[in-house]
Chains A and B, each alone.
Chain A
Amino acid sequence: MVFPFVVGIWVTAGILIGFAVPPIHDGNLILRTRQIAFFHVPMAIAMEVAFLMAAWYGISWLRTRQPRYDALSLAYAEVGTVFCVIATITGAIFARTNWGAYWSWDPQQVGIVTTLLTYAALFALRGAVEDEDKKRNLWAVYAIIGLIVAIFSTMVYRRLLPDNATLHPSNTVITSDALNKFALWFNVIGYIMLLVWMAKLRSRFEMASQRLREVQWA
């Protein structure tokens, strides 16, 4: 297994690069704690990817009825929740140093809290159903409709508001110099690989524990 080592080295290198790049200007302001951007933005993107994958494997489960897909869906949702929490906390720290308050119900913050609550509701639902197949069906349905609403609250909502409604920088890193741009995309790829690796491990664990439950009952 080479993949875990590649991911480990890649993510470490990404963190180091984040500290090496020149400062970023947002308008004529220099962003403070800019290193967070190379952590926070990839986490937020990976969190959305995780939700997308959870819903995708939910659809796969509904179509094929193979428990493997349900385990993958669960795994992506769980790792996605962790990423979502990290993105929320790093975002709050960034907001504190740049805008003066940890929390100000900026449209981006509304979006990420909605997503976090949707993730939490998924696990509440899974815990409340006893029958295995029914549990998986309801999980998949909620993951799909949750994805639609998460897209609404994180992407559509902000774009329908006037431009001055959010303080959140958009495209600031992308439009700055090439080195910053490279550092950002390097980290995005790194954390998505991390997501995939962790979700694979988690789904294998889930399959193993399912088999164990079956053996127990048999």
Chain B
Amino acid sequence: MEIGSSAAIQPPGARESTLHPLTALVPRATWATVQAVFWKDWRSEWRTRAALNSIALFSIASPVALSFSVARQRLEPETLAGLLWTVLLFAALVGLARSFVKEEESGTATLLRLSCPPDAVLWGKALFNLVLLVGTQAAAVPIFVLLLNAQLSRAGLLLLVLLLGDVGLAVVSSLLGAIASQARARGSLFAAIAVPLVLPLLVAASTGTAAAFGAVGPQGDFWPALQIMLGYDVAVVTAAWMLFDFVWSA
């Protein structure tokens, strides 16, 4: 108890800290620690490229399979958008739990708990997942557009929707990856708990992407979709920030 009480180091007359004695000891994340976690993940990923390979292969192979199966058909922008986001969602589900599952499997999670503030682990891994998603989509989305003959009428909008969607996916999958990595049957559980939470994001992203592919009428109005995605991102970033401690230090 002695280490936690801050009375000794406080100047006389200062208010007693209302923090829990243990919470007061938890170091807060700095940009340097977030970066450290990010580069650690980057290096260990680069050695095996397991997550990168699975996401990239999935998100490039499925447009190829799709374009085989719907060859020479004209697809509506709404259909194309739905297909694109289904591909991107499942590609993310295949690879994004890796960053936490890997720590538990190789037994390095405890060391990471000791050496890093919890927030740094969350944001470092979320940043890494974001980079992974953006990197694979930079290859996968052009291939999708080429193979399925999508008319890209608003390229800037597509980039914005992809970025907003990736931020939400990266943060949610980091928090849920940390949850799933502590349970049995990690891979399948991750998909089961992630899909319900990303459905609102998926619906909004599809609507926005349909507008980017040239949908007209009520489907072409993309502002509500962008608002939903932005609101969703803010909500999950806040929730992950508040809740990650309870998952990580459990």
Mark A residues whose CB is within 8 Å of B.
62, 110, 114, 117-118, 120-121, 124-125, 128-130, 133-134, 137-138, 140-142, 144-146, 148-149, 152-153, 156-157, 160-162, 164-165
Contact = CB atoms under 8 A, between A and B. Distances in A.
Which has the most chain B C-beta neighbours within 10 Å: A62, A149, A162? A149
A124 B192 contact: yes
A157 B228 CA distance: 7
Contacts of B156: none
Interface of B: 175, 179, 182-185, 189, 192-193, 195-197, 199-200, 203-204, 218, 221, 224, 227-228, 231-232, 235-236, 239-240, 243, 246-247, 250
B239 A142 contact: no
A157 to B, nearest CB: 6
Contact of A125 (B179, B218, B236, B240): B179
A69 B193 CA distance: 22
B224 A160 contact: yes
A118 B198 CA distance: 10
B200 A137 contact: no
A145 B247 contact: no
Nearest to B247: A141
A148 B239 contact: yes
Contacts of A157: 200, 203-204, 228
Nearest to A115: B196
Nearest to B227: A160
24 contacts: A110-B203, A114-B199, A121-B193, A121-B196, A124-B192, A125-B179, A133-B250, A134-B182, A138-B182, A138-B247, A141-B243, A142-B193, A145-B236, A145-B239, A148-B235, A148-B236, A148-B239, A149-B232, A152-B228, A152-B232, A157-B204, A157-B228, A162-B224, A164-B218
